[in-house]
Amino acid sequence: MDQIYLDHNATTPVDPEVVDAMLPYLSHTFGNASSLHYFGREAKAALERAREEVAAFISCDPGELYFTSGGTESDNMAVLGAAFQRRDRRRHAVYGATEHHAVMEACEYLVHRHGFTADAAPVDSEGFVSPRRLARLVTDQTAVVSIMHANNETGTIQDLKPLVQAAHEKGAWFHTDAVQSCGKIEINVRDLGLELLSLTGHKIYGPKGTGALFIRDGIKLTPLMYGGSHEKKRRPGTENVAGAVGLAKALEIARRRMEEDWIRLSDLADFFIDRVLTTIPHTYLNGTRMGRIPQVCNISFTGVEGESILLALDLEGVACSSGSACTSGATEPSHVLVAMGKDRVVAQGAIRFSLGRSTNREQLDYVLAKLPPIIERLRSLSPLYQERMKS
């Protein structure tokens, strides 16, 4: 069997339709969108069409959407830009305990370099943030609250509305990292009441290096970069026209396929999770069975290091991950699973299988045939597992 890719939460292949849409802007329609001549005007028109299309997907005005290099930049722009803008009267930030490092480390930077304070909102065993517990953390000193929409490791989807309300009651701005949800579920920034939202292209079969940040009209952010008037001086730098076009096309395809993808991936994931949990003892699903983006199957194999499982599966032609791609190689257990109260032994044995449009039943059957003997062999070599089974 060919190589099997089950790491779609890390990145996705670029859809051929997206490649076709981008190609003109990588070849003959190459102008700088800031140039006044014909070539520049042509590029500018394509950029603004893409802006309108992406904005329509999240139900915002095109003037509220700013193109970036991806989710990390968008998260940094939102958290740091909001904090610096409001620092004269508000020097506190709140973030979810299971956030992506692009948000967590931005908050840590505020604390260690700029005299802010920050609190991590706890989550329950399925990864949900309680509005009541969040409300206890937000004060009239809080500049920004950042809670991820769908978790990148477990797929847990937060109910944002009550969380946004808790933030707004104290005058805090609310940002959500929608990198893993945008293109997979419907998003309406007006209905949710958001000030800020981050999204990216490469998680939804679009190009890498392309993303966007929604900034609600009337919200001012302190820029993080300087050097030009691009993106209304919010994000200077020559615009990636091809990337913006590719992002817009990826979202157009996502809208067409959303229901179909959700149903098919839900069925495949349910099949895979049930088989793993019933055929391999001492395994646990991390996160919730309901209320998650369906393609994520985060499963812990007690007594085995996740990295060992990854290497063994890779030798069998199966690609997956032990958590966020941004923390690959980390020896510590996932901060997401630890925040959910998982035992460190359980957390260190976690593998994230994330399915995609190319995933089929035959591939999962292959993985299900290879996985049990791998786990059995690794457990036989693990003093930790043997000791745990005796206790």
* 387/158 Cα distance (integer angstroms): 37
Structural contact between residues 194 and 175, judged by C-beta atoms closer than 8 angstroms:
yes
> For residue 344, what pLDDT band results from cuts at 50, 70 and 90?
confident
CA-nearest of 120, 185, 198 to 159 is 185
List the alpha helices (DSSP H) in the chain: 16-22, 38-58, 71-85, 101-114, 131-137, 160-168, 189-192, 241-279, 306-315, 335-339, 344-348, 361-380, 383-390
Q: Of the ranges 105-119, 222-236, 279-293, which one carries the lowest mean pLDDT score?
A: 222-236
pLDDT given for residue 232 in this prediction: 87
Paired strand residues for 300: 284, 350
Tell me, what's the pLDDT at 328?
A: 47
Residue 185 reports pLDDT greater than 60? yes
Within 13 Å of residue 389, how many CA atoms lie on the same side as its CB? Answer: 13
pLDDT, position 377: 95
Q: Is the pLDDT of residue 329 over 60?
A: no
Predicted confidence band of residue 327 (pLDDT cuts 50, 70, 90): very low
Instruction: For residue 383, name the pLDDT band (cuts at 50, 70, 90).
Output: confident
- Phi and psi dihedrals of 140, rounded to 5? -75, 0
Residues taking part in catalysis: 326
pTM: 0.95
| Strand partners of residue 129 | 123
User: Which residue, among 258, 298, 261, 246, has the nearest Cα to 277 in the 3D structure?
Assistant: 298
Is residue 349 pLDDT above 90, yes or no?
Answer: yes
Residue extent(s) of CATH 3.90.1150.10 domains in the chain: 4-11+258-390
Instruction: Looking at the structure, give the CATH architecture of the domain made up of residues 16-252.
Output: 3-Layer(aba) Sandwich (3.40)
Could you report the per-residue pLDDT of 14-35, keeping only the tens digit for each?
A: 999 999 999 999 999 999 999 9
Task: Write down the pLDDT at residue 330.
Answer: 53
Other beta carbons within 10 Å of 358: 13
The ranges of the chain annotated as CATH 3.40.640.10 are 16-252
Say which CATH architecture domain 4-11+258-390 belongs to: Alpha-Beta Complex (3.90)
Q: Average pLDDT of 318-323? A: 90
* Cα–Cα dist 166/189, whole Å: 16
Who has greater pLDDT, 120 or 390?
120
Buried b or exposed e, range 297-307, using 16+ CB within 10 angstroms: bbbbbbbbbbb
